Amino acid sequence: MSSSHLPATTESLDQAEEAKMPSEAISILYRIIDNPSSSSEALRIKEKAISNISGLLREENRAEELRSLLTQLRPFFSLIPKAKTAKIVRGIIDSVAKIPGTSDLQISLCKEMVQWTRAEKRTFLRQRVEARLAALLMDSKEYSEALTLLSGLIKEVRRLDDKLLLVDIELLESKLHFSLRNLPKAKAALTAARTAANAIYVPPDQQGTIDLQSGILHAEEKDYKTAYSYFYEAFEAFNTLEDPRAIYSLKYMLLCKIMVNQAEDVTGILSSTKVGLQYQGPEVDAMKAVARAHAQRSLKLFEAALRDFKPQLEEDPIVHRHLSSLYDTLLEQNLCRLIEPFSRVEIAHIAELIELPVDHVEKKLSQMILDKKFAGTLDQGAGCLIIFEDPKPDAIYPATLETISNIGKVVDSLYLRSAKIMA
């Protein structure tokens, strides 16, 4: 960074834009920012220079310089309105977020800014930076710290009645509780977010986020039809905004169709004009592969899909949870169909028919016997499965219970009559 400053004028900005190398443009912009002038025009030019330098540093992946820029600009923030300060600070934090592998840097940067905003008594900005920090901590799986931060922040924002920020924070709390597998609290937080959202105008992207979270929670409760309608609403919102989250909403829509045994609808959805070629890619290909395996009831195709599309299926916690359940159901159906003709069969033969490892099949069969999916036992010495005939229910026990119940009613009736006579 050069020690001499440049005049804060549009000509200086043009000079930076005409620079051949990004490093040269960055140097010119730093010199504009260093100009001591505090006239309204100079401040406007400096704001533009800060915006330009943030973009250039992001393109160059210079995250540490963005952090030091934020520290360097603190005297400048005292010269401009608080709303503009908030816009610049959030813009620089967003620029750092767009640089890959900067999660730890973003967390430390947010913590620094929270301390500075507390010292400067900038409540509006502090609350938004704290909300951003809580989201980063959640992404880093620092759940307890994020929850502590959010608990205090929600109370404070409720007192100030900042509905728009409250919607963001309640949504974040819902996601956090869902990550901790606390479904009742996740639903309560989402209901609070919806209540706050009903009182104000909510931007379409935020409404899409609410619908997406609603779909996730309904899917968790196995209410896939309702979940599908929420995912569809989220997809509509994100698709209109060309938000990258549209592909995930579409992916979860397809998942819901598969989970309600309507895998054949997947092709119809993907061939519609709204989806068409716009959303082709590995996320969609993964769901098509799962739908094909489910339609054919093929465990081999299912495992091939899980193997070929591991990042899209295994590493997505929402999809992985539901597909694990689907795989278990599919495996049980296939095993029941295969063992039906036998009274005694080698486990190795079943494993060969189903094309799975013997130990995997043996473990699943023992689990099914314990869950009473069929009556049988495993002879591990001989490596065989022995299937018993379904025991016929003995009708004498229910009949005895019914008789005793009827006698009880007769005795109660006689007691009431005798009580009336005695009275």
**What spatial distance separates the first Cα and last Cα of the chain, rounded to whole Å?**
106
pLDDT of residue 389: 78
Q: How far apart are CA 254 and CA 12, in angstroms?
A: 53
pLDDT of residue 284: 86
The DSSP secondary structure of 141-199, one letter per residue, reads T-HHHHHHHHHHHHHHHHHHT-HHHHHHHHHHHHHHHHHTT-HHHHHHHHHHHHHHHHT
Which runs of consecutive H residues, i.e. helices, occur in 180-309?
183-198, 204-220, 224-241, 246-259, 265-270, 282-295, 299-308
Q: How far apart are CA 415 and CA 157, in angstroms?
A: 64
pLDDT of residue 1: 43
Q: How far apart are CA 168 and CA 32, in angstroms?
A: 36
pLDDT of residue 423: 64
Q: How far apart are CA 165 and CA 163, in angstroms?
A: 6
Contact 246, 239 (CB under 8 A): yes
User: What is the four-CA torsion angle of 134, 139, 144, 146, rounded to 10 degrees?
Assistant: 0
Which residues does residue 385 pair with via DSSP β-bridges, in sequence order? 345, 378
pLDDT per residue, tens digit, the chain (423 aa), is 445 778 888 888 888 888 888 888 888 888 888 888 888 888 899 899 999 989 999 998 988 999 999 989 988 898 889 889 999 999 999 999 989 888 899 999 999 999 999 999 999 899 999 999 999 999 888 999 999 999 999 999 988 888 889 999 999 999 999 999 899 999 999 999 999 999 899 899 999 999 999 999 999 999 999 999 999 999 999 988 888 888 999 999 999 998 888 888 888 888 876 776 678 888 888 888 888 888 888 888 888 888 888 888 888 888 888 888 888 888 888 888 888 888 888 888 888 888 788 888 888 888 888 888 888 888 888 888 888 877 666 778 888 888 999 999 999 888 888 888 876
Residues 6+ apart with CB under 8 A from 45: 8, 9, 10, 12, 13, 32
Residue with tokens 């018993």: 388
